[in-house]
Structure 1
Amino acid sequence: MDFVAIDFETANSLRTSACSVGIVVVRNGEIIEEVQTLINPLSEFNYYNTKIHGITDYMVQDAPTFQEFWPQLKPYIDQQTIIAHNASFDIGVLKESVNRCYEEQPQFQYACSYRIAKKIWPDLYNHKLSTVANYLSIQFKHHDALEDARAAALITIEAMKKTRTSSLKEMSLLHKIKVNSSLDTKKAPSRVKKSKEDMALPFIVPDNIEKNTRHPFYGANIVFTGKMDSMTRSNAAKYAADRGATCKGAVDIDTNFLVVGDQALMKYVEGVKSSKMQKAEDLIQKGIPLEIVGEQDFLRLVKH
């Protein structure tokens, strides 16, 4: 029953923006070591990410960058079995951060404690980290990297106890739990479907333009995704259009802003992406000057 649980927090929507990592080492079913550090992402902090994990740019000023911390992190990852909750997100952060440093990718196997919990406790109403931890009486502070990694480790230990298995491999064989290899290159499919509103949102051009050429949205191409809490997306698009923006239904190389509703943004921070979010990330990685903006930041900008 040997594995290493990890958890990353990020400064913004980019997976190269790790600002904290938690590491929990399990040997023979017992936690034997815990490591946590802040990381300077060399990137701006998004309001919504900070709202979730509480980490600010001021707090990481003297923290090591990912590249500086990598020599310490690598031995915990390379040739190990890794556990993370919603592993596609954390493994994505790890791989893309290593790529950004031009380092050789480590080799490891990994499994997702979310999927483990879904198999072992199928009757829970959902399998979010907080839900499963509460069910198993595991106390932790959510969105603290070390606390989340420890919770994922304890969930996996409890799953092995319940199934009376002594290794992740044994449990995965008995209960058809997928164990992935870091050498796999296939991208995980999006778990977010297009909403009807996504498909119905028309191409909106400016109607009553405010003659403020300095407004952040003046002349910009904007796309919306995810349900908004403060207003409908159609109304949001009209506000943007009235400030000189052109609002479209699909992300492309001419898109300047992808505005994400707060509910969808929270899922995005946890690694759940719509096709628009995935397209935006791909374009950002290619150097296209596109910005992903949360609902609250949009409201602040639209009032600018």
Structure 2
Amino acid sequence: MDFIALDFETATADRDSPCEIGLTYVKEGQVVDTESWLIKPRSFPYFAPFNVSIHGITPQDVADEPEFHDLWEVLRPRLENNLIVAHNAGFDLSVLRRTLASYSIPFPSLDYACSYIMSRKAWPGLASYNLKSLCSQHSIRPGHHRAAADSRACAELTLKILGQTQTSCVRECSSKLRTSIGRLLDGGYTPSEAKRDYSGRGFNPIIGDTSKHNPESIFFGRSVVFTGALSSMTRAAAQQVIVDIGGANHFGVRKDTDYLVVGQQDFRVVGEDGMSGKQEKAVSLIARGAPLEILSERDFLCNI
């Protein structure tokens, strides 16, 4: 039950602008210590007003603090070869990766998990899974967007998840909840994400209106998959459009899929690269020579 909970605060919308990092250490299922460091970001003295309104850290607070590359010799031995947990790990680990890359520092080797993803699996059906809401539900003192307190809240929440799932460690919990452990290593990373199980979920056939068939449409006689939320219509309506034109809907991306239409993605669900599992598979198939095309919602609307 040993892990380190991590939280970053950033000065701007750019991921390589950390202005604070917090680490909370868990040993044998107990929170034993919390540390935090203010960081002078690369953007100094500029701080985005929106970010300041969230965490309250100002340029004056970090004027005499070290930059990240100077602090790294302190942080690396704490992080390397350990299991890291973050709430919305896609954000925090991308801050780490992009900041290291901006200073041309090699990635450390570490594993990581996402308490946000695990929470969704442990307590399905909640209205919100942000850290503040989950802290309120489980009587955890919230962090109010400061790195030390947020990392501690993440650690305590992770221990609650272990209790909920009756597991003894984060790796066992991740396996039980069907979420993957991410991996960061010199030269790359693999994301921490939810494993999707579509077994037993049928795709209800949609009956098209043959009088609306359009042989001139690019979708006529072709198969289409949708991922993400469309802003112009519901997915069911879009699928109806496809069969009315004379195309077919696929539930998932396959070798014989012709088009993937990408709508707005939920950053809390997709991988760290911002792509859904369907889009990642499509990119992989295209790289192997599959005649599959990825379309934006605008492209879709222009062709119906």
TM-score bucket (shorter structure):
0.5 to 0.7
Provide the residue aligned with 2:41 in structure 1.
Answer: 41
Letter in 1 for 2:7: D
Quick one: structure 1 residues 13 and 102, their matched pair in 2 at CA, closer, same or farther if it must change by over 3 Å? Answer: same
The answer for the alignment partner of 1:109 in structure 2 is 111
Corresponding position: 1:32 with 2:32: yes
Q: Deviations over 1:77-126 (max 9, x none)?
A: 11110000000100000011111222221011111000111111113211
Tell me the distance in 1 between the aligned counterparts of 2:69 and 2:124: 40
Which residue in the other structure is 2:179 paired with? 177
Contact 1:115 1:177 (8 Å CA) reproduced: yes
Tell me what 1:88 maps to. 90
> What is the alpha-carbon distance in structure 2 between the residues aligned to residue 11 and residue 192 of structure 1?
29
C-alpha distance in 2 between matches for 1:186 and 1:105 = 13
Query: SS of 1:103's equivalent?
Result: coil
The one-letter amino acid of 1:15's match is R
Q: Is the 8 A contact 1:192 1:272 kept in 2?
A: no
Q: Do the aligned residues in 2 keep the contact of 1:12 with 1:45 (CA within 8 Å)?
A: yes
Q: Which residue of 2 aligns with 1:51?
A: 53
The AA in structure 2 aligned to 1:101 is: Y
Structure 2 runs not aligned, ≥5 long: 194-226, 234-267, 276-304
Match of 1:131 among 126, 130, 133: 133
SS of the residue 2:59 aligns to: coil
The match for 2:11 is 11
8 A Cα contact 1:160 1:168, kept in partner: yes
Report % sequence identity: 35
Aligned residue identity for 1:117: S
- Answer yes or no: is the 8 Å Cα contact 1:9–1:18 preserved in 2: yes
Tell me the amino acid that sits aligned with residue 114 of structure 1. Answer: Y
Change (3 A) 1:194 1:155: same
Does structure 2 retain, via aligned residues, the 8 Å contact 1:24–1:33?
yes
Return closer, same or farther for 1:147/1:192 CA change in 2, 3 Å cut-off: farther
Deviation at 1:272, TM superposition (A): 11
Alignment partner for residue 102 of structure 2, among 78, 100, 103? 100
Q: Over aligned residue pairs, what C-alpha RMSD do you find?
A: 2.8
By how many angstroms is 1:176 displaced? 0.8
**How far did residue 273 of structure 1 move?**
7.0
Q: Which residue of 2 aligns with 1:234?
A: none
For 2:42 and 2:232, how far apart are their aligned partners in 1?
A: 37
Q: How many residues align?
A: 204
Q: Which amino acid aligns with 1:25?
A: Y
What is the distance in 2 between the residues matched to 1:89 and 1:73?
18
The amino acid that maps onto 2:123 is W
CA distance, structure 1, for counterparts of residue 143 and residue 172 of structure 2: 30
Flag structure 1 segments of 5+ consecutive residues without an equivalent: 198-266, 275-304
Q: 1:259-296, CA deviations, whole angstroms, 9 ceiling, x for partnerless residues?
A: xxxxxxxx9xxx9979xxxxxxxxxxxxxxxxxxxxxx
* Residue 110 to residue 186, structure 1, CA distance change in 2 (3 Å): closer
Write the distance in 2 (CA, Å) between the matches of 1:154 and 1:113.
10
Give the letter aligned to residue 3 of structure 1. Answer: F
SS at match of 1:58: helix
1:146 and 1:61 map into 2 onto residues whose CA distance is: 19
Paired amino acid for 1:139: R
Q: 2:74: which partner in 1? A: 72
Contact 2:69 2:103 in 1 (8 A): yes
